[in-house]
Amino acid sequence: MNHGCEATTGEAWCQVTPLHGGAKGYVLASSVSPAIGPDGVLPTGVDTSKRRAKSRDFDARSSFPCAQEQGQQMGECAGAVARGGGGDATVVATFPNGFSRLLYFTHGAFMRGNATMSGVGIDTDWSLQDGAYQIRVDDQRFAIPVEFVLGRK
């Protein structure tokens, strides 16, 4: 993620952070190239998916496997997704008891969940398996189809 560039001593340097976590650092602007999203879109501007999800302005609704507690068998969550361009999306997962968690994606990569009474949403692990995001946020687990998040078949 590019946090901005500045010209110093005749060269431009950009402060960047790896999408999958890590420390901020600096690279020459000439070595930075735009990231094309998994949907083939070059995202520009601000990702509006978070705002749209909070306003309940969704692109699609579905259900997917989930578990709310550690050791609990997977059940079904109701899901709704607000998509931005370039693989940016916000998914709202609602457990059978009505508790909801927001899940944030950037360029098709899962980033984090929102902070809730269950945890801060940054104790996470995820992978892609058999066409689905296998996500753990705090003690909660989700298996969300890639096509639901990204809107492609």
* Pairwise pLDDT comparison (141 vs 44), residue with the higher score: 141
Reduce the DSSP state of residue 29 to 3 states and report it: helix
Helices H, strands E: what count in the chain?
2, 11
Among positive and negative, which fits the CA dihedral 36, 40, 44, 50? Answer: negative
Give the pTM.
0.77
Confidence of residue 75 (pLDDT cuts 50, 70, 90): very high
The answer to whether 11 and 27 are in contact (CB under 8 A) is no
Report pLDDT digits (tens) over 22-63: 677 888 888 877 766 666 666 666 788 999 999 999 999 999
Q: Which two tokens stand for residue 114?
A: 């929102």
Q: Please give the Cα distance from 113 to 121 (Å, whole number).
A: 4
Dihedral over alpha carbons 52, 58, 122, 36 (to 10 degrees):
-80
User: Mean pLDDT over residues 63-80, rounded?
Assistant: 96
Q: Please give the Cα distance from 137 to 76 (Å, whole number).
A: 16
